[in-house]
């Protein structure tokens, strides 16, 4: 490595730099406590710290805690130690740099992709073909929306509180599944022999107190996937509030956004401050309101996250209008894969509320055979009304 670090000679020393690095990681969303800085220093003494790659490996082992963080770490390490001039991503879009009066250009000063962060964006496939070519305004668009929308403008805190209430009732409506194992319980259907014998020691080996066990209830887990493509932007306000409410009401729930890519927003939405959670989500939903690739997004979900987070106890809830720019068969394949994991699939389509709606969009009709529930939902009241469908699931 020939690049030199950005620190001047008058710098107070390695400890201060290390503290700065930990602060830098913290600002970029890694959860690090005070103790980590200490361990990080200790770790550096164990390797040859003058070699950037060795320090990088050591610090990665100490400072990261999950796969996403490990993937992000290299960039963060470079931006702090290697002086690549990258600055921390701001939550709010920064004001445009003033351009010279003599130059008149319609192009953005830093190129078309100035708002995005290199590795996090993937280009659209050029070969995808629009499925429906009608003249309505709800056609799926291929274009990725480069302007980053701040979702905080869309969602108000009161709505989140309302949605939280709806999500609470929804969770309660999902019938618990019962486990096969039995655990100790005051009112159980069977005798708990181990505990009974243990208790009988106190009475000289005579089982005076009979202890019982029962099958515990295992709660259903909601996994929500929300389409935030252009055609859905009218409804996204309701759905995003619902997602935020859901995550606050149910600690086991899981949430994703998709447009042309799939993003997991569970971590972001777990933030204690509801508005800050929405802010973090808007950072991750880069490309929000752009084109839609439902099939590939669902396939990606089925192949990656679903393997980790979806099982027989999950209820997968898809919030989308089904207008896709990719082959409709992909949606069918993805849902079939999901179904094999034993989960229930609910599709909530805002368009279904329209008077003479028929699921004619090719994507939607490919999805229909794999759905357990297919309902309309475009307001919070509609979501709340789902309760009775969930009871029978």
Partner 1 sequence: MTWTDLKSALADEGYVASDDLAVALQLALSLGRPLLLEGAAGVGKTEIARALSVVKDAQLLRLQCYEGLDAAQAIYEWNYQRQLLTIRAAAEDGETGKAIEDRIFSRDFLLERPLLAAITQDTPPVLLIDEIDRADEEFEAYLLEILSDFQVSIPELGTIKAVTRPIVILTSNGTRDLSDALRRRCLYTYVEYPDRVTELAILKARCPEVEARLADQIVGFVQKLREEELEKTPGVAEMLDFAAALMGLGIADLTDDLNALQSTLTTLLKTQSDQANVTREVAGRIAGKAA
Q: What residues line the site for partner 1 (CB under 8 A)?
A: 31, 33, 35-36, 39, 42-43, 46-47, 53-54, 57-58, 60-62, 64-67, 69-70, 179, 181, 183, 194, 197-198, 200-201, 204-205, 266, 303, 308-309, 311, 337
DSSP 8-class letter at 348:
E
Bridge-based pairing of strands 212-214 and 221-227 is: unpaired
- How open is the CA angle 106-111-112, to the nearest 5 degrees? 80
163-164-165-169 Cα dihedral, nearest 10 degrees: 100
* Helix 294-303 / helix 329-340 crossing angle, nearest 10 deg: 20
C-alpha radius of gyration, the chain, whole number = 26
The single residue listed with the structure tokens 């003479």 is 356
376 SS3 class: strand
Output the CA–CA distances (angstroms, integers) from residue 264 to 51, 92, 261, 343, in the order listed.
Answer: 35, 20, 10, 19
Shortest distance, position 205 Cβ to partner 1, whole Å: 5
Shortest distance, position 210 Cβ to partner 1, whole Å: 15
Shortest distance, position 128 Cβ to partner 1, whole Å: 18
Closest CA to 363 of 222, 258, 243: 258
Shortest distance, position 56 Cβ to partner 1, whole Å: 9
Shortest distance, position 67 Cβ to partner 1, whole Å: 5
- The full length of the chain comes to 393
Tell me whether residue 92 or residue 197 sits nearer to partner 1 (CB atom): 197
Tell me whether residue 153 or residue 311 sits nearer to partner 1 (CB atom): 311
Tell me whether residue 43 or residue 319 sits nearer to partner 1 (CB atom): 43
Tell me whether residue 198 or residue 276 sits nearer to partner 1 (CB atom): 198
Tell me whether residue 254 or residue 286 sits nearer to partner 1 (CB atom): 254
Shortest distance, position 293 Cβ to partner 1, whole Å: 17
Shortest distance, position 125 Cβ to partner 1, whole Å: 16
End-to-end CA distance of the chain: 59
Shortest distance, position 33 Cβ to partner 1, whole Å: 6
Cα gap 138→360, rounded to integer Å: 13
Shortest distance, position 170 Cβ to partner 1, whole Å: 21
* Helix 14-27 / helix 34-46 crossing angle, nearest 10 deg: 130
Q: Which residues pair with 185 in a beta bridge?
A: 212
Tell me whether residue 201 or residue 381 sits nearer to partner 1 (CB atom): 201
Shortest distance, position 54 Cβ to partner 1, whole Å: 7
Cβ burial of 273 (10 Å; 0-12, 13-18, 19+) is: exposed
Tell me whether residue 147 or residue 201 sits nearer to partner 1 (CB atom): 201
Cα gap 97→357, rounded to integer Å: 47
Tell me whether residue 157 or residue 216 sits nearer to partner 1 (CB atom): 216
* Number of CB atoms found within 10 A of residue 48's CB: 10
Q: Which residues pair with 264 in a beta bridge?
A: 256
87-88-92-97 Cα dihedral, nearest 10 degrees: 0
Tell me whether residue 53 or residue 94 sits nearer to partner 1 (CB atom): 53
Is the Cβ–Cβ distance between 266 and 255 less than 8 Å? yes
């Amino acid at each position: 490595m020939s690049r030199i670090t950005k620190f001047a000679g008058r710098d107070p020393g390695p400890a201060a730099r290390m503290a700065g690095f930990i602060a830098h990681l913290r600002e970029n969303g890694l959860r690090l406590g005070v103790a980590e800085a200490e361990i990080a220093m200790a770790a550096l003494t164990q390797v040859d710290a003058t070699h950037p790659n060795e320090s990088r490996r050591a610090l990665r082992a100490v400072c990261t805690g999950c796969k996403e963080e490990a993937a992000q770490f290299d960039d963060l390490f470079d931006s702090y130690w290697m002086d690549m001039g990258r600055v921390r991503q701001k939550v709010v879009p920064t004001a445009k740099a003033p351009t010279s009066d003599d130059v008149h250009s319609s192009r953005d000063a830093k190129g078309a992709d100035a708002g995005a962060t290199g590795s996090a964006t993937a280009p659209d496939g050029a070969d995808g073909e629009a499925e429906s070519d009608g003249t309505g305004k709800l056609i799926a668009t291929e274009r990725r929306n480069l302007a980053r929308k701040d979702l905080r403008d869309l969602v108000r805190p009161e709505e989140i509180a309302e949605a939280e209430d709806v999500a609470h009732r929804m969770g309660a409506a999902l019938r618990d599944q019962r486990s096969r194992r039995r655990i100790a319980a005051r009112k159980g259907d069977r005798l708990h022999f181990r505990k009974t014998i243990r208790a009988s020691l106190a009475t000289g080996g005579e089982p005076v107190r009979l202890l019982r066990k029962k099958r515990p209830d295992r709660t259903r887990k909601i996994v929500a996937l929300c389409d935030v493509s252009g055609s859905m932007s009218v409804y996204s306000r309701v759905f995003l509030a619902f997602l935020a409410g859901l995550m606050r009401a149910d600690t086991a729930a899981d949430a994703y956004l998709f447009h042309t890519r799939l993003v997991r927003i569970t971590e972001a939405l777990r933030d204690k401050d509801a508005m800050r959670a929405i802010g973090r989500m808007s950072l991750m939903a880069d490309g929000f309101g752009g084109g839609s690739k439902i099939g590939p997004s669902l396939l990606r979900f089925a192949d990656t996250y679903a393997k980790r987070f979806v099982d027989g106890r999950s209820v997968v809830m898809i919030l989308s209008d089904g207008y896709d720019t990719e082959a409709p068969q992909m949606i069918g394949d993805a849902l079939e894969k999901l179904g094999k994991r034993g989960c229930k699939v609910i599709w909530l389509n805002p368009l279904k509320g329209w008077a003479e709606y028929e699921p004619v969009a090719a994507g939607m009709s490919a999805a229909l055979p794999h759905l357990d529930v297919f309902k309309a939902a475009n307001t919070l009241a509609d979501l709340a009304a789902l309760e009775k469908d969930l009871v029978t699931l």
